[in-house]
Amino acid sequence: MRVLIAGAAGQVGQELLRLAPERADIVAMDRTSLDIADASQVAAVIARVKPELIFNAAAYTAVDKAESERNLVWAVNCDGVANLATAAQQAGIPLLHISTDYVFDGTGQQPYSETSATGPTGVYGASKLAGEQALVRQCTRHIILRTSWVFGAQGNNFVKTMLRLGGGRDKLGVVADQRGCPTSAASIADTLWSLAKQFETQGTLKWGTYHFSNAPACSWHEFAVAIFDQGLGADLLDRVPAVDAIATRDYPTPACRPAWSVLDCSKLKAAYGITQPDWRNELGKMLAQLKSGQAEARLASAQRVVVKDLDEAFQANSQDTLAKASKF
């Protein structure tokens, strides 16, 4: 089955490449080869690649910067998703898209279900919600997978920030009054591939919106403490700093952060049997990847397969592409 990955250079995009089934026929494109904000490019690429499934891992994800770059954020997270949705619908291709806990206002006290009222508080969350709505309107066969607190060996994330800051400081203040579920990019990729395999076997999926995160819920402070503990154990740190629990009001940011981000993932489990991995195990795997330098090696190898020029890629790989176009 041929799968097109948009946003292949991001945290989740890289894991989609790394964890792709052996025989999957993948056309992975980063922003330089497929800008989802460009409607005509999206239509042309889909017409040329003729995928049977599309993963959208592309997004504008800089939550704070988003507050001052509204037009760009909207062009990617709303219009970009609409472009993919329109082209996918016209070509009859299902679109599996990733969204976020930031579509909620963060004032909840129970895990958010797929039917909980949305109410984003910042530009990023509002643009992601608008993207979801465009997808629902414009592409019948879609999956929206909302997730939270993503970390992985590729790209920038909280784990890497803590390792960087923690190594050089005696003391660090980390917010303790925001709760959510850290989620490894690898487990998101696994979930998407599991859905893709089911689509290939059954020819359909139970379309709609689903929540997926790792478990259990914790605060950023608890997450930081676990990162330092495991980072020390994995020899990625020589020492750990004291971690002070601070309040959100003591760490002002341009974008408001949800105090409560916990997602109820029972719908995905009921529909597909997909359970929530423990983020502490996922963190251990990510740190082991960093430790062994696999991350860099995988990044290098993954980048080799990100398609920069479609015509060139198809000419060079036509035999390979045909060979792999069988079931995975």
Contact between 317 and 307 under an 8 Å Cβ cutoff? The reply is no
Contact between 248 and 259 under an 8 Å Cβ cutoff? The reply is yes
Of the candidates 231, 226, 229, the one whose C-alpha atom is nearest the C-alpha of residue 214 is 226
What is the token pair recorded at 214? 């790792």
Stretch that binds ligand NAP, among 54-62, 106-114, 230-238, 314-322 (CB under 6 A): 54-62
Question: In angstroms, what is the minimal distance from the CB of 80 to ligand NAP?
Answer: 5
Q: Does 83 bind ligand NAP (CB under 6 A)?
A: no
Q: Tell me how far the alpha carbon of residue 234 is from its chain's centroid.
A: 25
What is the token pair recorded at 138? 């414009």
Catalytic residue among 124, 210, 251, 272: 124
Q: Of the candidates 58, 93, 162, 186, which one interacts with ligand NAP according to CB under 6 A?
A: 58
Question: In angstroms, what is the minimal distance from the CB of 318 to ligand NAP?
Answer: 25
Q: Of the candidates 83, 86, 89, 100, which one interacts with ligand NAP according to CB under 6 A?
A: 100
Q: Does 9 bind ligand NAP (CB under 6 A)?
A: yes
Q: Contact letters (x/-) for ligand NAP, 105-144, by CB under 6 A?
A: -----------------------x----------------
DSSP 8-state code for residue 306: B
Question: In angstroms, what is the minimal distance from the CB of 324 to ligand NAP?
Answer: 24
Q: Does 276 bind ligand NAP (CB under 6 A)?
A: no
Q: Which of residues 145-204 bind ligand NAP (CB under 6 A)?
A: 147-150, 155
- 272 as an active site residue: the answer is no
For residues 24 and 302, which CB has a smaller minimum distance to ligand NAP in the complex?
A: 302
Q: How far apart are CA 157 and CA 92, in angstroms?
A: 35
Contact between 1 and 200 under an 8 Å Cβ cutoff? The reply is yes
Q: Does 35 bind ligand NAP (CB under 6 A)?
A: yes
3-state secondary structure of 151: strand
Q: Of the candidates 1, 3, 4, 10, which one interacts with ligand NAP according to CB under 6 A?
A: 10
DSSP 8-state code for residue 115: T
Q: Does 61 bind ligand NAP (CB under 6 A)?
A: yes
Q: How far apart are CA 95 and CA 312, in angstroms?
A: 25
Question: Helices (DSSP H) in 168-238: which residue ranges?
Answer: 185-202, 220-233
Sequence-ordered strand ranges (E) for 203-314: 208-211, 218-219, 242-246
Indicate which residues carry an active-site annotation.
Answer: 124
| Site residues for ligand NAP per CB under 6 A | 6-7, 9-13, 30-31, 34-37, 57-61, 76, 80, 98, 100, 128, 147-150, 155
